[in-house]
């Protein structure tokens, strides 16, 4: 008994000593800067724009800021590489020799992937960064195949081969599962920059053809989710302005709007390219003014990672897990820690939170998943899981929802429901994660504190918020209200009556109905507040073509029957001859029939396809696009 007691004391003492050593080690970690101390003028896109149009570069020093940024390996240096590569491939003969030497020196010393020697605070892992880094590494390796890259001691050819595999894996993920950052008018731009560069400059037919195919699928998303040239929809990642008015109007205008120049930036390659042509069927889909329902499945759920072969720490698995922003969730937290340790990434400014889990006792006893479950950190909401998206688009509006998405969970940058008011602006509601004035994600207008249960059928969306009574252990805040972006000044007419608010813009009408009375917040006539931790929002879209006058629309909505059972958390709504019923975190019914809100890869009038399709055929009227990823077939008619 004494021996056992002494052994136990020795074991505890050993654990204490190991933990003390861990504490000292963790405190000694440095953190590399995410941004430079001083603002740098980044003008490589402007220089490429001028070069393309034949304008002389009077001062090549304008490139200095971008080169310093890339040399410093600050976050988003890969953004700067997009047009620098285009300058290097197309205009190398007119770059001053001193700048050519400096560019080569920087590019050959750069750290292109997480498993390479060196440390910095660049974000390599999100979906758009993955293809940006891989595209850059491949094309720079191709440019200098025999040069020794100082950071790794490998040749450019070696870098090409490594990057090639990541490129092909990334493209395969998009073909099989769609975009994790689905419908993101923020990050689709970055994907475009990387893909167009591969299409224009890669000398590998498989990479070129598959990049063209995936770019077609990206533009199918843009076409189906746009109203005229306004590309705003539900999204895996969106920020405040991107939920309200989007950020790709320059691209949509170029392809199916006023044909104006895209302008300086990562998407300008679409103007410069001679190797990518937008299939006409996508332009036809963008211009379709009929009433259409567009269903789609985008990405993976965390509980699918094992069955789909992405549950390890190999590069392919980490690309999928971290591309989903799934870092700390119990199912993957040990993978994340293992990869971070192996690649000396505790010094990365985005990953410093993992230091709190870097204790030997937790590691050896496999306690990290249990600890995450007990603490339930808000950061688990960062993970972008499968989006079953539903869009109802008409000539006058589009209404869109990610059906039953992660009900009640923490959110981050996801956008799960909204409505486009013509092609002017969008409206949406959310539960703010923090008060105004914060600058992180999620915050007051970005993401959600807690997701609602949100569902849609045609022109009606039902959403129920049921917030916890107490703030989570690591939750930033728990605000006791929900709110909506409903910009009073942008409407032609607004009517606010108790728990009803109506808006009219041109021929488009909209209504929000709440459980509790609405008020505009202080003097902010964009911010519509609904108090209460348990609340519902009903959104109904209408138009002059279907409702006649705005007055008729208002009167019809106000006469609709509504019932909310607080105990069962069931919302019943009758409108337009249809009965809608939603039980929180359970079923959604229309006319007493349960609605299936889990979709195939594509389900719309334009294309039908399951997950991991062999082929995809997109049609609209006389136009068509046929894609076969494995056989490198891309065919479309231009007439």
Residues 503 and 437 occupy one common structural domain = yes
Residues 209 and 336 occupy one common structural domain = no
Q: Which residue would you say has higher pLDDT here, 475 or 482?
A: 482
pLDDT value of position 574: 98
Rounded to whole angstroms, the Cα distance separating 373 from 329 reads 8
Residues 506 and 572 occupy one common structural domain = yes
**Lowest model confidence (mean pLDDT) among 181-185, 379-383, 489-493:** 379-383
Rounded to whole angstroms, the Cα distance separating 249 from 234 reads 17
Residues 506 and 568 occupy one common structural domain = yes
* Residue 490 confidence (pLDDT) above 90: yes
Type and span of the H or E element at 546: helix 544-547
- Asked whether the beta carbons of 597 and 585 are under 8 A apart, the reply is no
* Average pLDDT, integer, range 209-224: 98
Residues 428 and 394 occupy one common structural domain = yes
Residues 307 and 208 occupy one common structural domain = no
* Residue 250 confidence (pLDDT) above 80: yes
Residues 106 and 238 occupy one common structural domain = yes
**Any idea what the Cα angle at residue 99 is, between residues 93 and 100, rounded to 5°?**
45
From 262, 288, 314, give the residue that closes a domain: 288
Residues 525 and 485 occupy one common structural domain = yes
From 238, 259, 288, give the residue that closes a domain: 288
502 in the Ramachandran plot: left (φ > 0), alpha (ψ -120 to 50) or beta?
beta
In a domain, 571, yes or no: yes
Specify which residues 625 forms β-bridges with.
618, 636
Rounded to whole angstroms, the Cα distance separating 502 from 495 reads 5
In a domain, 233, yes or no: yes
pLDDT value of position 524: 84
Tens of pLDDT, residue by residue over 311-361, are 999 999 999 999 999 999 999 999 999 999 999 999 999 999 999 999 999
CA dihedral 72, 74, 78, 81 (to 10 degrees): -40
In a domain, 133, yes or no: yes
**Any idea what the Cα angle at residue 606 is, between residues 604 and 612, rounded to 5°?**
70
* Residue 499 confidence (pLDDT) above 90: yes
Tens of pLDDT, residue by residue over 66-88, are 999 999 999 999 999 999 999 99
631 pLDDT band, cuts 50/70/90, is very high
Quote the mean pLDDT of the chain: 95
Q: Structure tokens of 397? A: 């509006």
pLDDT value of position 3: 64
| Helix/strand/coil for 589 | strand
In a domain, 412, yes or no: yes
Rounded to whole angstroms, the Cα distance separating 358 from 375 reads 16
* Residue 26 confidence (pLDDT) above 90: no
Provide the total of helices (H) and of strands (E) in the chain, helices listed first.
Answer: 19, 28
pTM score, two decimals?
Answer: 0.96
* Residue 638 confidence (pLDDT) above 90: no
From 345, 365, 381, give the residue that closes a domain: 381
pLDDT value of position 11: 66
* Residue 237 confidence (pLDDT) above 70: yes
pLDDT value of position 497: 97
Type and span of the H or E element at 317: helix 315-323
Rounded to whole angstroms, the Cα distance separating 495 from 517 reads 13
pLDDT value of position 436: 83
Tens of pLDDT, residue by residue over 575-621, are 999 999 999 999 999 999 999 999 999 999 999 999 999 999 999 99
Tokens 């006893």 belong to residue: 365
Q: Structure tokens of 267? A: 């998407």
Q: Structure tokens of 89? A: 């491939």
In 36-145, alpha helices (H): 44-52, 64-71, 77-91, 97-108, 127-143
Q: What phi and psi values does residue 603 have, to the nearest 5 degrees?
A: -150, 95
Residues 25 and 79 occupy one common structural domain = no
5 pLDDT band, cuts 50/70/90, is low
* Residue 165 confidence (pLDDT) above 90: yes
In 144-204, alpha helices (H): 156-177, 188-201
**Any idea what the Cα angle at residue 179 is, between residues 286 and 353, rounded to 5°?**
135
Gyration radius (Cα) of the chain, Å: 26
Domain containing residue 456: 386-603
3-state secondary structure 462-526: EEEEECCCCCCCCCCCCCCEEEEECCHHHCCEEEEECCEEEEEECCEEEEEEECCCCEEECCEEE
Tens of pLDDT, residue by residue over 34-70, are 999 999 999 999 999 999 999 999 999 999 999 999 9
Residues 499 and 366 occupy one common structural domain = no
Residues 330 and 197 occupy one common structural domain = no
* Average pLDDT, integer, range 249-259: 95
Taking residue 100's Cβ as centre, other Cβ atoms within 10 Å add up to 14
Residues 352 and 281 occupy one common structural domain = no
Specify which residues 393 forms β-bridges with.
292, 398
- Asked whether the beta carbons of 184 and 261 are under 8 A apart, the reply is no
* Average pLDDT, integer, range 225-241: 96
Write 1-10 long-range contacts (CB < 8 A, 24+). none
| Count of structural domains, the chain | 3
Rounded to whole angstroms, the Cα distance separating 25 from 229 reads 53
In a domain, 57, yes or no: yes
Tens of pLDDT, residue by residue over 429-447, are 999 999 987 777 899 999 9
In a domain, 633, yes or no: no
What is the share, in percent, of the chain residues with pLDDT greater than 70?
Answer: 98
């Amino acid at each position: 008994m004494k021996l056992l007691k002494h052994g136990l004391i020795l074991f505890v003492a050993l654990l204490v000593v190991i933990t003390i050593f861990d504490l000292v080690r963790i405190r000694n970690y440095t953190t590399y800067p995410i941004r430079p101390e001083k603002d740098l003028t980044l003008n490589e896109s402007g220089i490429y724009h001028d070069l393309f149009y034949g304008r002389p570069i009077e001062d090549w020093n304008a490139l200095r800021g971008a080169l310093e940024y890339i040399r410093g390996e600050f976050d988003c240096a890969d953004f700067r590489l997009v047009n620098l590569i285009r300058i290097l491939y197309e205009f190398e003969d007119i770059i001053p020799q001193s700048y050519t030497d400096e560019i080569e020196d920087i590019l050959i010393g750069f750290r292109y992937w997480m498993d390479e020697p060196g440390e910095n605070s660049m974000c390599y892992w999100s979906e758009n960064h993955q293809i940006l880094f891989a595209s850059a590494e491949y094309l720079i390796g191709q440019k200098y195949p025999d040069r020794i890259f100082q950071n790794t001691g490998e040749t450019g050819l070696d870098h090409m081969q490594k990057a090639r595999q990541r490129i092909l894996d990334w493209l395969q993920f998009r073909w099989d599962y769609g975009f994790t950052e689905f419908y993101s008018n923020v990050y689709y731009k970055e994907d475009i920059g990387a893909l167009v560069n591969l299409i224009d400059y890669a000398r590998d037919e498989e990479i070129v053809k598959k990049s063209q195919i995936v770019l077609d699928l990206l533009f199918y998303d843009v076409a189906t989710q746009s109203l005229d040239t306004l590309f705003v929809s539900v999204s895996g990642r969106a920020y405040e302005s991107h939920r309200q008015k989007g950020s790709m109007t320059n691209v949509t205008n170029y392809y199916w709007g006023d044909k104006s120049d895209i302008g300086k930036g990562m998407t300008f390659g679409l103007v410069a390219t001679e190797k990518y042509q937008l299939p006409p069927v996508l332009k036809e889909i963008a211009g379709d003014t009929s009433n259409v329902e567009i269903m789609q499945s985008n990405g993976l759920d965390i509980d699918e990672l094992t069955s789909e072969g992405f549950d390890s720490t190999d590069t392919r698995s980490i690309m999928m897990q971290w591309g989903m922003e799934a870092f700390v969730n119990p199912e993957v937290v040990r993978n994340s820690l293992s990869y971070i340790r192996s690649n000396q990434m505790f010094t990365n400014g985005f990953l410093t939170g993992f230091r709190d889990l870097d204790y030997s006792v937790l590691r050896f006893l496999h306690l990290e998943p249990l600890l995450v479950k007990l603490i339930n950190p808000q950061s688990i909401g960062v993970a972008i899981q499968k989006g079953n998206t539903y869009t109802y688009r008409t000539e006058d509006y589009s209404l869109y929802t990610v059906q039953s998405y992660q009900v009640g969970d923490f959110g981050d940058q996801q956008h799960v429901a909204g409505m486009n008011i013509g092609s002017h602006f969008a409206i949406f509601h959310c539960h703010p994660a923090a008060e105004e004035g914060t600058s992180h994600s999620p915050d007051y207008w970005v993401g959600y504190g807690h997701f609602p249960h949100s569902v849609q059928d045609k022109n009606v969306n039902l959403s129920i918020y049921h917030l916890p009574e107490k703030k989570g252990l690591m939750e930033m805040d728990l605000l006791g209200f929900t709110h909506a972006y409903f910009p009073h000044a942008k409407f032609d007419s607004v009517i606010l009556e108790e728990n009803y608010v109506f808006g009219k813009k041109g021929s488009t009408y909209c209504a929000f109905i709440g459980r509790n009375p609405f008020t505009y917040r202080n003097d902010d006539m964009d911010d519509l507040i609904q108090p209460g931790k348990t609340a519902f929002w009903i959104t109904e879209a209408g138009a002059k073509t279907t409702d006649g006058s705005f007055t008729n629309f208002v009167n019809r909505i106000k006469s609709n029957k509504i019932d909310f059972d607080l105990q069962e958390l069931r919302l019943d709504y009758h409108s337009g001859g249809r009965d809608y019923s939603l039980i929180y975190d359970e079923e959604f019914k229309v006319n007493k029939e349960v609605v299936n809100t889990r979709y195939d890869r594509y389900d719309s009038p334009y294309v039908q396809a399951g997950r991991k399709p062999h082929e995809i055929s997109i049609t609209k009227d006389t136009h068509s696009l046929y894609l076969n990823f494995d056989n490198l077939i891309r065919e479309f008619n231009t007439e």
